[in-house]
Every structure is written in C-alpha cells, then in structure tokens.
Amino acid sequence: MWTWPIYGYLFLAGTGAGATAISAVVLMRGAGGAFGPRYFDVARLGAMIGPLPVIIGTGFLIFELGRPFRAFNIMTSNFWFMPLNPSPMNFGGWMLLPFGIFGVLYMFCFMPWSRWLPGVRGNLLDAWSTKLRGPLAMIMVPLSVATAIYTAVLLGAVPARPLWNSPVMWALFTVSAFSTGIAAIMLGQRLTYRANGDREAERHFHNSGYALTVADLVLIAFELMIIALFFMAAYFSYGDVRYAIQVFLSGGEMAGLFWVGLVGIGLLVPFCIEAFFVLRKMRTGSFRVPYAVEIVTPLAILVGGFILRYVIVIGGQITGPVGL
Amino acid sequence: MRDEQQLDRVPPAEPPAVPDPDHDPSGRRQFLKKLGGSAALAVTGAAAVTSLQAEPEANEQVEPDVQYGMLIDLRRCIGCQACSIACKSEAYLPLGVFCNGTASTEKGHYPHVSRSFLPRLCNHCSTPHCTRVCPTGATYKRPQDGIVVVDQGICIGCLYCAQACPYTVRFLNPVTRFADKCDFCAHRVSQGVVPSCVNTCQGRARIFGDLNDPESEISKMIATNPVTVLRRAMGTEPNVYYIDVDFADENLKRPGEYVRVTTHQGSRKKRG
C-alpha cells in the first residue's frame, strides 16, 4: 500500500514544479508581461518556493522504498540503455535528478549574494546569478512541466488500478500542479509584501495579484471541467472503472472527502472568491482584496490540492479490477 | 490419470541452474540485437522493415522454450491451507505475508449454500504487467522456463510491481525489504522437483508442468477439461489454470444475494 510518502510527494512535487514553471515563465516574459515592474519579485518568489518541496518530496519517495540505499538502481541498473526501460519511475528518476540540480542552481541565482557576502565574492556571485538566470529559466520550464506531468504518469501506468489508468487523471494532476503552484506564489507574495506608503508600488502589487488570480481562476475552471469529464466517462462506463468510481459516489468510502474537501473547499470556494474579485475589478477597475481573503484563498487551494492527491492515491488502491 | 501422478515427478525439461546467465536487466543484449536490426535495415532496405517490425519490442517477452504453468483442479480442493503453509515454510516467509493464499467463498441462504476455495498464487503471466513497470529491471520473466522472478540484488522495494499486479500476489517482504512473490519454487524446479505446494497438496489438486510440451500431463489436462484463468480481461495471459472456479464476487452480487469472500488480504480494505 502506498501511503503518506506517495501522496505527500505528489502534492509537494506538483506544487513545487508548478511554482517553478510559473517563476521561469514570468522571468522570461520580463517586465513587459502582466506583472509589470514586479515581475522579478514574482519570479524570485517562485524560485524560492519551487525547487525545495520537489527535493523534499523526492526524499519521501526514497524513504518509502524497501531498500532506500539502493535508490539509484532506478537509474544505474539501466544506465546505458535507459530508453529501453519503459518504466515511468525510470523516466521520473531521470526527470527529478536534473530538476534537483538545476532547480537548486536556479534558486541560488535569486539569492542576495552581495548582501550576505560583502566584497568581491558577493559581487562575483551576483554577476554570475544575473548571467545564469535566463538560461536556467529556459531549462526549468520543460523540466518543471515534465515533473508536474510525471506525478500523474507514475499512477496512470498500471491497468490494475482502473481509477488511475485514465488520461483524464493525468490532465487533472497537471492542471492541479499549476493551480497549487500559483496559490503558493500568491500566498508567498501576500506574506512577504510590506506596504510602505508607496502608492505606485502598491498598485503594482495589486496588479500582480490580479494576474495571478486570473490565471488561477482559469486553471480551477479547467480542473472542475476535467473532474466533471472524468465522472461522466467513468459513470457511463462499465466494469472496473464503473466500480472504481463508486468510492467517490454517494455511499463510497471517499465521497465526503472528495466532494466537500476537494470540490467544495479546494475548488468551488476559491473559484467563487476569485471570480467575485476578478469580476469586480472588471467593473470598477480596482483589485483590492482583504488581507484575510488573500491568505485564505490560496490556503484553500493548497488544501484542495493535497486532498486531491490523497483521495486519488488511496481511492485508487482500495479499488481494483472486479471479479476473481 | 490423476492417480498415477508421482509426488516428486521430474518436470519434462531440465532448466539451467540458478544463478541465471540470461538475466539482462539493462536490456543491453536486446539493445545490441536492435542495433543489429537497424544495421540490417540500413543495408537491405525495405525488405528488412517487415522483419524489424516482427521483432518484439524491448521488454516485451519473447516466447520461452519451456513455459511452466500450474493447473489447480478445484473439484479436488478441500481448502485445507496445506499449500499456504508449505509455501510459507519453503520460502521462509514471515508472519502475515503469503506467496500462496487460499481464499474461500461462501454464498447462498440456508439451506441452499455452498463454499468454495480459490488458491491464489503468481500467475507467471506471458505478458506480465509487473515486469514492464519495474524501474530497475529486477523483476523479469526467465527466458528458459517462463518463471517471473525478482532479482534480490537489484530490487529497491518500491512496490510499483505490487500496484501493477492485477492478482495482488506481490508484497513487500518485511524481513528482507524487497518485493517478494511466488517463483514456482525456482530452486526446487531447477533441481527437477515439483514446487512445494504441488508436493504437499492433499487432494492432488495441483498439477505442475510445461505448457509448451503437448505431451506433458498439464497440457493434456488443459486440453481435455473446461479450464479458466483469473482476470483474463486484464490482458496478462496468465499461466495458472483452474478447473471449476466459483466466480461469485461480492462486488457483483445481485440484491438479496449473499456472497462473502475471505482472503488472506482481509485486513487490507480492498475490493477485487
């Protein structure tokens, strides 16, 4: 039975990969994008939030192994002829290793080196950081998208788990990864921003909050749609898939957590809150959101992302092929 | 025919002794074979295309010379669990895990009731799902006798194979910490002795032998009896055959019908 290390990893890696991807895209887009002069702060936040959870989650995965010290067998026992091993875990190992290396480098490129190491060394590190940021961002975009997708491919590759073995599930995990990544950046931005009376800076802060909220709104809408499609497809199917989906239907073991925790708290509540403020901005032109709401909305999205991983991992394992 | 079966009947083909010289976890040989195929393609052109396409994909299993299989005649099974115990003592399995567990099914309302048994073990499938998800190549189907084994020197215990197995016969051995499963007693079979569960079966319900040899007892029994395999729809092409399985399922019962299946995985809340 796969338990907390697996869904812990899926959540941490999804959120981290989403935040890293957003950060890299925002950095490459530059000041001309939706974030205006605040683009660098958003990119830095994503770079600080992103890579570490992925590495911690990978640590969970290694901890979960029966023989943790053999973890590198995933790559080394197939080292020279890797493409011939179709196992998704092999693919994931080759994805997570460069993500860890380049992700940490990418994170280091945003550190205030000259403030920590006054003098020549700090200045040198700052110069390198400025030079390396762009190329690293270009590497991080495909790497983090692949890491976000891999969380679902790992589950989807086994026909003996009919709940997981669905392309819709892959889309759901990927969209949820970006949604939770944006939520993490929103939360970080709210917690690190200090109003200092500068009206122009405050306007830019609200503008970047608006850009993140709109992106998140679209992703949550997609997520709701994918869940609806998944239910339609499974409900009108037969056999294994039809019986597997019953854990989420009325009377199923995971129904309450799925509908209240994920669809309610994790998706519909943040969707309504975000839609309200986005629509008000469209009407009145101002995007001023109360502090508590700006904290609670991303938190609800993150909790929903965790519940999604939990119900899918556990629900997939307590259902199986029906019949002897 | 059944009564003539010897307890320690020597299997028809003598497989090589372990350790296995053909184990190719990295796929090097298959890769080299493919390289050779590509070279031939470059030289002979279109004629080689068909031959290359006919070649099996990497990690897809080639047809073994000897495919060991088992036939369990449930008309002779009395559910005594002797096979489960013989298996546990043969494989040194710790408490709580089974390579071979016997499920029992109760169904019906008094006085119209029945009870049937279903010994479950690894099906040593011809297209196993467990081997294709293994990230290390530790589990593979032995080309010489078709037994699916786990290489304990490589396995990392990620249990991906346990997720992929439709028969839930793989588990983490709590002592050795790697994925464990029935290996048809490969150490006994390679010495020409039948597996422990076959040896111990009181009702002589189990027949072990080479499915590729039409003259073997198991092939004859399969040819002359109505046999089934478990979960054929999963596409694994299992090599463990059953006679007279009761397919009554708790999840598929009609309203008012009573079906109860007791398995060794009872503590795990799992359907199917």
B173: chain A residues, CB-CB within 8 Å: 66
Query: Domains in chain B and their CATH numbers?
Result: 24-58 (no CATH), 61-262 (3.30.70.20)
A154 CA: distance to closest CA in chain B (Å) = 9
The mean pLDDT of chain B is 80
For residues B70 and B195, what is the distance between their CA atoms, to the nearest angstrom? 10
A10: chain B residues, CB-CB within 8 Å: none
Task: Provide the pLDDT confidence category of residue B29 given band limits of 50, 70 and 90.
Answer: low
Q: Is the ipTM of this structure higher than 0.85?
A: yes
B217 CA: distance to closest CA in chain A (Å) = 26
- Orientation of helix A291-318 relative to helix A4-29, angle to 10°: 130
| pLDDT of res. B155 | 92
Question: Residue A116: is it exposed, middle or buried by C-beta count within 10 angstroms (0-12/13-18/19+)?
Answer: exposed
Question: Which sequence spans correspond to the domains of chain A?
Answer: 4-318
Is A3 in CB contact (< 8 Å) with chain B?
A: no
Contact in structure between B72 and B240 (CB atoms under 8 Å): yes
Best residue of A158, A161, A312, A313 to probe chain B, by most B CBs closer than 10 Å: A158
Is A322 in CB contact (< 8 Å) with chain B?
A: yes
Task: Provide the pLDDT confidence category of residue B15 given band limits of 50, 70 and 90.
Answer: very low
A71: chain B residues, CB-CB within 8 Å: 156
Is B41 in CB contact (< 8 Å) with chain A?
A: no
Task: Provide the pLDDT confidence category of residue A7 given band limits of 50, 70 and 90.
Answer: very high
Q: Do the Cβ atoms of B158 and A317 come within 8 Å?
A: no
What's the CATH fold of domain A4-318? Answer: Formate dehydrogenase/DMSO reductase fold (1.20.1630)
A90: chain B residues, CB-CB within 8 Å: 135
**N-to-C CA span, chain A:** 20
Out of A64, A70, A84, the one facing B31 most closely (by C-beta) is: A84
Contact in structure between A132 and A109 (CB atoms under 8 Å): yes
Q: Do the Cβ atoms of A88 and B133 come within 8 Å?
A: yes
Task: Provide the pLDDT confidence category of residue B77 given band limits of 50, 70 and 90.
Answer: very high
- Orientation of helix A39-49 relative to helix A4-29, angle to 10°: 160
Q: Do the Cβ atoms of B164 and A157 come within 8 Å?
A: yes
Model confidence over A297-323: pLDDT tens digits? Answer: 999 999 999 999 999 999 998 888 887
For residues A245 and A231, what is the distance between their CA atoms, to the nearest angstrom? 8
Three-state DSSP state, B106: strand
